[in-house]
A and B are shown apart, each in its own frame.
Chain A
Amino acid sequence: MIPVVRRFLIISILFGIILFIQSIQVESISAFNPKTLAVLGFLILASFTTGEILSYIKLPRVIGYLLIGLVFGPYSTEILHLPLLKVFSLDVIKDLSLINTVTLSVIALTAGLELKLDQIKKSLKSIFLILGFKTLLMFILVPLSIFALSSFIPFLADAGWKPVLAAGLLISVIAMGTSIELTLVVADEAKAKGKFIDLILSTAIVKDVIVILLLALSLTISILLLNPSSKIELGIFTALGFELLLSVIMGGIFGALLIVYLKYIGNEIFLFLLAFIVLASQLSIIMHLETLIVFVAAGFVVQNYSKFGEKFHHPLQKLSLPIFITFFTVAGAAIDITSLKSLILVGLVIVLVRSIALYFSVRTAAQIAKEDINIKDYGWMGFLSIGGLMLGIAIIIEQKLPGFGTQLKPLITSIVAINIFLGPILLKFALSKVAQKMDKEIEPIKADLSKTVSVTKEENPYSAKFKKPALSDNDLNKSLFLILIKLNDILKIFNNKFIYSRTEESIELVLTVSEKYTDNLIVMNNALNEETFDSKKMIEIITRLKSELSEYYLIICAERKTNEDNILKLDPLIKNLFNSLVDLTDGLTRVISVDLEDCFIYSSKTDKIIDKLNKSISRIQLFVRKVFNKKFKLVRKVEYRNLAKYFLVGKSSSEILETVNLVGNERLTTLKKIHTLFTNYFEYLDVLIEFLSENEGKADAKAIFSGKLNELHSIFISEINIYRTEIHNTTNEISSRLTYALATPFNNLLEILEIAGTYKFNQNKYKYSNLFKESETQKDLTSDAIRHWVNFYHGYIGIIEKESYLYKLKFDLTKIVNASLINISKEINGNLRNVCSELNVEIAEFKMLLNSKNSNENLHELIFKSKNIFFISTIKSYTQQLENIKRSKKLNLLLEKLMSDFSDVSAHIPEEILLLEDSDFEFVDRTPKFVKLKSVQLRKITKVILEQKFLREMGEVNELLLNHLNLTIIELKNLYSIVTYHFKSAENEINSPNTNNSHLAMELHLSLNSKLEFRIMQLSNQIDQLEKNINTKILEKVELTINELSKYISENSLLRANIYVTKESHKKEFLSIFEIKLHQVNQFIRKYSLITKRNYKKYFYPTINRLMIHLKFLKPISSALMSETIFLNEDRIKKLPFLYRKLFDGTTIESDDFFVQSNQLEKKISTSINNFSEGKFSSTILIGEPGSGKNTLINSVINKYLINHTLVRYEFKKTCSSSAEFVIILAEILGYRNNLKIEELILSMNDRNNKKVIILENIGRLFFKKISGFEALKTFSYIVSSTSKNILWICSIGKHPWTFVNNSFELDRIFFSKIDISELHRNDIRNIILNRHSVTGYHLFFKTDEISQLKNKFIKGATVEEEQKKASNQFFGKLEEFSEGNIISGMYYWLQSIKEVKDNTLIIEPTRKIQFALLDKLEDIYLLTLSEILVHETFTDIEHSLLFDLNVEVSREILGYLAALNILYIDQIEFMSNRYFLNKSIYKLIEKELIKRNMI
């Protein structure tokens, strides 16, 4: 009730609003009634609401729409006498006329889409019968009733028979109508489907064409009847026919357009349909076509000549609802009640007559056409409704028969009005009745069906048993028994040799996997049972298990690859099977005689004439032969062998193929299951890890974990059990399928032989030749199938293999980064944590002491003593440790180490794996088709991703770590300064005569404590944060890398992996070309602007400047500022990626990957080693300036030549000029006591049983240019010369130190071999640089010089590749020339030449020689300092002051200035004391400048 009240309330509010707005606003006059839009909204809402109300009382909604139209329409006053209700004026109805056309088009299109050709074909007979009877009865009964009622019809009351007949004929045409729109609306509402509604709709559509023709005919007759002088115009029929034909053609074209849209665009169907309907209906009107026919034809074409019919259903339904509402409401409003009031009763009688006519016509037609009972009983109700279309016909009649037509129109309107209301109600009633009946009929069928289904479910369609031969002929039975026995033997062999063994294999495979998991579970349980439960440890265990598992799977994959080829054994087995069958049948009797049975001799009623004739001949034959031989029987010669071959060889082949495919599929399914187990188990382990990470440190973590473990284990075990059962079931299925494959042909053979004596047996049908070709094809297919299955197994194993490698890789990567980055991070942070905790302890102790010391003296003592006890030593020692870490190879060679580890990882991955994609396994009916295995270049892809992408990302993390380390060192030094400052100030205070000094000193210390506490707290926070950041970042990056790798492998294309590096899609390529061109234009402009500027500066500027100064506009410049810095493009270098800077920062390379080998070197080193082995002089000196690759060369020599030798290596970092110090160092590194005398040392070293290789690096630091500064060098010289036969000395020294000491001490006499490194590399710089560069993955683009560019503008140049090659050669030629064999200098030039980084490409500018004019501006002391530093390679500020006899402060100033200019760089090898080195990058430049000045 409430919903009904609610809906009435809605209508009331709507109406109220309309009334209200009418009262406050004046309607403006325009072409379009301003109220129309509001009324349209009103009618949609009100009609929809009324429709809903009516649906509650089971009436069609459309009645509600019509009622709203009637109640609020222009004619409602006539019945209700309430002018207020007149919401729709005639103007509004006229404005909404566009809706009518659109609605008719929608209806027609929907109707057309409902017309399915196959259904129409079925109902064609019924349609035409219904229409035939309907036309006949209507044109008899309706005119008769008009005759009978003529006295009640005003304009016919006194008329003669002719007008009455004319009226009768025309009303008959109206009575023929059945509204398609009402039928559709009601059917849609009732959701009716099926033959009943289809028949009504199809008939209604066909009827429209007939109505048009009948109207034309009736009109012609009526004109003749009403005006006898007029003539028949046949042209009207021709025009009509043409119009109909054109409508159908246009409809077809529109339909085709709809199909094209759906096929090629297919989006936004709703909107397109709306636009299409409006457009097409307007075009139809313009072309004077029958809109209804046009759209029906369009819908028909779409439904029957494309697959898109269904696609229109939903949008049309969405569109039709509002349109139908509007259409029927307007139709209701348009019913002219005034005119039909007087004729309503007549109308009712005619409607009754029409109903009777319909009832009989439909019933008779249905009976003749043997239609369904429903159509017979209720079909007439469906044809009753007449729609608005008939009102249109009334208008045509009015136009064609002026006067008479106008008088007839009210009668037509009254008939339409009654039918429009009555029709839908009866149609809905009929539909509900039909639906009820259908339900009743369907229920028992459903029940039967469910029974059938349940029965068939239990039956296995492929279970068959061999039938026992029980024929009348004993010989034949014997033969058949023999066949049966042999077939059973074949089956047994096949089952035992193949099917069961394969099953066992599959089960074993699953069991092996489950065993592995059980082992894992035991490992986890053991760890769980330990006394202390450590989540981290458990995570480590699970991670290790994961790695082991992936390796285990790789082993399984390798095994399976070999084992799966076993299915190839099936091939000979199958061939044997076929051969056995052929042999079996070959040995059979060719022909057997079978007695003919009675049916072959005596005719029956069903026999055809020819059969009867045959049987008569047989009878005559039998009769005649029996005269001579009473026992004579008619027999038939049956080709037994052929028949057996037909079934056993021919028919069985397809069955055997099916069996083979089943066998093949079984293993694939097992592999898939193994794969699922694999992924599921990894997921379980991940769940466990996740759980452990989330619950780390929680008290109940162990208990929950244990529960979780058991839960996951039980899930897993149940999975395995299910798989095992499935494998068993599949095996049984295969076995029974094979039995079926042989039993069915055998049983068929028996069945045929049983009827061989009957008339049913047709020997020709069972000729083996009929099947031979097919059978051979099946045999071939069987062989192919076996090979294809192998292919599929390999492909699938490839998938498992790929995933296993990915898992393994993930583990390896995590391990590598854990061992390197995370370890370093831990070491750094460990040190920091220690320093923090130690300092905290010291602060506490210090506080305590401070509190206990009250007197001035005590305090004085405490301050002076505690200075060295507390803080300083701790800070100093940890700073030193951190400095050591910073300088350690572990950190400095981290990237190199990572790179080498990644190379190792990549190297352990197979070159390629062969696999198939998931989509390849989607085959129909278990039949495999050959798909080529896809080769994935696993190693290459991994290498590319790891060494180029992942390494770069690790570089970023490394940078983060380095920055952190630098910052913490600075922080510790700050702490040091704070402590020393406070202590010093406190000392000063204590020493001062001030009375408050102790108080102030105390305050200072308290302040120190609080500052230290605060800083330490900050530092601790930073440590935790950084640790977390680094760990998370690394794990994320590993995960991302693995995902990326998986993606590229899945896409099965190395090219794709390279795309990551090149990142060049077509779009980018285009953009880059555009950018290059733009760049060239810019360069051109810049070039000429520079030329102009240069010329201006050169020629005009000085003159103009002088003039300006002369005119006193400008002041002369007093002095030039010196602002030049060494790194001309330091900003540019900073922009380079960290990895790049790191590779070219001049750090020694541990591995010899980048080292370019040389024959000369090999020869010299080999000779030294040989001499050493033979006890000859062998000492070797490597001479090279900084940056020439001394250390790298030594590394290379060690890795390549000295692996099997006992090796001692030491690098002199500090100056060591005293003999004693040198001896101690040497004794220490050799493992002797450090108080050995020189002679003792020499004696020990000459022990022939303990021959060693001693590598001493930087022996140039064994002297200091001052009196008694060469003692260490002399001792060294002595020791080397005394031990050179038993010790292989390999020493390195700088070029200038060597020149200096050699000239003074003739050191070349003690070295057997001398290697000048610069000479080795003079022509290798290019390779060294490119070797390093290649690992970064960047592309290079060499810009050509301006002259080449200019040349290219006029002369068509070479291709881009050729041009690049040329530019590269030019570039490196210059680079090698400028760097003169110095690698670091070469690198410096190289970095200076990188103009910018664009995506993944480095833009390289042509090399230009760098002029180092800065030295011109330096004073002599600076130049002398540089020349001495060249000789000594390094010195501290103190050493400088000694060397030049200067104050230390002055020395610091000089050296600091040079450091500020980047000529020197500082390293703090000793705590708080600076050691200065020459900037290796510009070494060559300085050397040249100093040579020019004769300073070296």
Chain B
Amino acid sequence: MESLIVLIVVLILGYISTHFIFNKIQSRYYVPSGIEYIFLGIIISPAFSLWFKDFLGYSYPNLISNEMISQLVPGIAAAIGFIGFFYGLNFNFKNISSSEPEHWRLALFEIFFSFLIIGGISFFSLNYFWGNESNQNDIIAASFALSVIGALSSNFIITSLIKTNNVSGNIGISLNKSSLINSNLNIFLYGLLFSIIHIGANSSIAISAIEWIVISIALAFLIGFLFFIFIGRETDENKLFVAVLGIVIFTSGIAYFLNFSPLYMNFILGMMLSNISKIATKIKESLEKLFQPMSILIVVMAGFIWVPPSLTIFILVVLIFILLRFITKSTAGAVAFHSAYSKDKLSPNIGKGLMSLDIVACAMIIDYVNVYKNEFTPMVVSAALASIILFNIAGYSMAKNLLVDVGEITGESK
């Protein structure tokens, strides 16, 4: 229980500091807040404490045990569910349909090239070095996860950049729209992984991957319908809160139990509500205050669950992944530009503007670790975490530089 106290104290301090310091700094100069929590999570994690001891021969008190982590996991799953639900609520068909074909093309190229380059290279190299007959599924899962994280772009960071600099040009709009499409598609794709490579199925019933996909989507839709009739036109804030809390916990619980991604199932749920419920805005409002603490919890947890591989593998995996991600994004951007009909909406370097990663990537890592615990997990987590840290910091300035270069940020608004 002491560990829980430590965790709560950390979260309270983190929250207050974010609330009072980072929010203010971030509103003026973009300082990516959240990164510090990844480091915090890493430092208080038992794996890092062990690694530190092995590496430096010096040990420090281990604040949180492995048992504690496993006790916290369902709670974290619920938090991820909240994030997924929140993203889903933002996925409104009306908004998405206003996107130009170029935006869709860019988002799809990003995914395509990521699967082609990152997925392909990681699959073949993992298979080459560690592959055997029994771990093919693990390799596919790892490659798939890396592809999705590689393809992912942060709409949150781009929106923040656009707002801060009052960008209204074509490239800014393209970055915003395509990153929104990209993140939503990637959440969906990522969710499919858990159905394709499903863990823990009842052996008495043979269920194929397609059937698992159908089950996951159908369940999300059924719960969405359930929530729709449950909530009706309720306007009482307290009741609404209980309903949202219950439905998100329920969906996350089912996803957790079935080894699906809570992010994905709640995303579908949120998406459904956003498009059919008349009180979607009210629901979103009741959740907005929870978004920040949930994010902090997820980011801390993402650092927390990191299990470092050996130093050589760590360096290699991280460097290669970051390089491949950079290449993938740049290529996708360039190809999208050259194949575009309206070239004014894109730029050859647009890929550089889509490098940033955010909370969704952290949530994906946690989802992955919850379900797939195998020899490749430390590699996937290391690569993803390192790229989150790097691209969270660099992604913003890269996008900004791009917009400066294309003349959409002139500095006048500052």
Contacts and interface: CB of A to CB of B under 8 A. Distances in A.
Interface of A: 6, 9-10, 13-14, 17, 21, 23-28, 30-32, 34-42, 44-45, 48-49, 265, 267-268, 270-272, 275, 278-279, 282-283, 285-286, 317-318, 321-322, 325
10 contacts: A25-B201, A26-B201, A37-B78, A45-B230, A271-B290, A272-B12, A282-B1, A282-B5, A318-B241, A321-B238
B223 interface: yes
A285 B253 contact: no
B258 interface: yes
Contacts of B74: 32, 34, 36-37
Contacts of B250: 14, 38, 40-42, 44-45
B246 A24 contact: no
B245 interface: yes
B35 to A, nearest CB: 22
Given A41-B249, A322-B241, 12 more contacts: A9-B229, A10-B229, A13-B222, A21-B258, A25-B200, A25-B202, A26-B202, A38-B257, A41-B253, A44-B242, A285-B1, A286-B1
B155 to A, nearest CB: 25
B203 interface: yes
Interface centre among A31, A35, A41, A267 (most CB of B within 10 A): A41
Contact of A41 (B9, B16, B225, B246): B246
B413 to A, nearest CB: 16
List the 7 shortest-distance A-B pairs measured between CB atoms, nearest first. Answer: A41-B250, A38-B253, A37-B253, A44-B246, A41-B249, A37-B74, A45-B246
A265 to B, nearest CB: 7
Interface stretch (B65-73, B109-117, B313-321, B395-403): B65-73
B238 to A, nearest CB: 5
Contacts of B257: 21, 25, 27, 34-35, 37-38
A38 B8 contact: no
| Residue from A24, A49, A285 with most neighbouring chain B CB atoms (10 Å) | A24
A272 B77 CA distance: 21
B133 interface: no
Given A26-B202, A318-B241, A10 B253 contact: no
Given A31-B67, A49-B230, A279 B5 contact: yes
Nearest to A272: B12
B19 A267 contact: yes
A10 B242 CA distance: 15
Contacts of B202: 23-26
Nearest to B262: A37
A268 B241 contact: no
A47 to B, nearest CB: 9
Contacts of B246: 41, 44-45, 48, 322
Given A10-B226, A17-B254, A282-B4, A325 B242 contact: yes
Given A17-B222, A24-B201, A44-B242, A37 B252 contact: yes
Contact of A48 (B1, B200, B243, B253): B243
Contacts of A28: 200
A9 B245 CA distance: 20
A265 B16 contact: yes
Contacts of A17: 219, 222-223, 226, 254
B247 interface: yes
B259 interface: yes
B19 A6 contact: no
B205 interface: yes
Contacts of B2: 286
Contact of A271 (B225, B230, B293): B293
B219 A34 contact: no
Among B8, B19, B205: residue with most chain A CB under 10 A: B8
Contacts of A36: 74, 253
B100 interface: no
B256 interface: yes
Contacts of A32: 70-71, 73-74
Contacts of A40: 249-250, 253
A559 B20 CA distance: 54
A754 B12 CA distance: 74
B289 interface: yes
Nearest to A320: B238
A9 B219 CA distance: 16
B242 A24 contact: no
A37 B247 CA distance: 11
B377 interface: no
A1054 to B, nearest CB: 27
B82 to A, nearest CB: 12
B22 interface: no
Contacts of B15: 268, 271, 275
Nearest to A271: B293
Contacts of B210: none
Contacts of A282: 1, 4-5, 8
A14 B219 CA distance: 11
A31 B203 contact: no
Contact of A268 (B70, B226, B289): B289
B251 interface: yes
Nearest to B77: A37
Contacts of B77: 37
Contact of B215 (A6, A14, A24, A37): A24
A25 B259 contact: yes
Nearest to B68: A31
A35 B253 contact: yes
A14 B202 CA distance: 21
B73 A268 contact: no
A268 B19 contact: yes
B375 interface: no
A277 to B, nearest CB: 10
B207 interface: yes
B11 interface: yes
A17 B253 CA distance: 12
Given A31-B70, A279-B8, A321-B242, A13 B254 contact: no
B253 A39 contact: yes
B237 interface: yes
Contacts of A21: 219, 254, 257-258
